[in-house]
Amino acid sequence: MALVVFSGRTDLWWLRPLRPGFRHCLVILREAGGWIVYDPMAHGTDLAFLACAELSPGRLAAWLIQQGYIVAPARRRPFQPRPSPWVPFTCVEAVKRVLGIRARRVVTPWQLYRWLVGGGMFDA
């Protein structure tokens, strides 16, 4: 189980042309004992562990939505035995690789959101 989190907040001028609400993304993975937060940013990657195993995906998603984020539940796909294609390593590409997504034309957070919702990865 994973939650892909989208944000419109940015201090980077080159992200401002992206769709409002979809200028950055990160992924939160449910693992034994809690949640792993993987936040790939332009200046580095932030990793955190939320030791709250009792926190349901629905409650975490609701809290994130209250904070102004857009959330798309997803699930991890099995990794393919071949290398991923060469592409710029953005937040979208980082999240795609964590989830095992090989959608070459998905390059912006908005495209990733649309792919998750329409591509069979949305867990209702």
Strand segments, DSSP code E, in 8-124 are 24-31, 34-40, 45-50, 70-74
Q: What is the pLDDT of residues 78-115, one digit of tens each?
A: 888 888 778 889 999 999 999 999 888 899 999 999 99
Is the residue at 48 inside a domain? Answer: yes
pLDDT of residue 121: 52
Which pTM value belongs to this model?
Answer: 0.91
Is the residue at 108 inside a domain? Answer: yes
Is the residue at 58 inside a domain? Answer: yes
pLDDT of residue 69: 98
Domain count, the chain: 1
Query: Could you list the residue range(s) of the whole structural domain that residue 66 is in?
Result: 2-118
Is the residue at 124 inside a domain? Answer: no
Is the residue at 52 inside a domain? Answer: yes
Spatial contact of 4 and 74, defined as CB atoms under 8 Å apart: yes
Is the residue at 71 inside a domain? Answer: yes
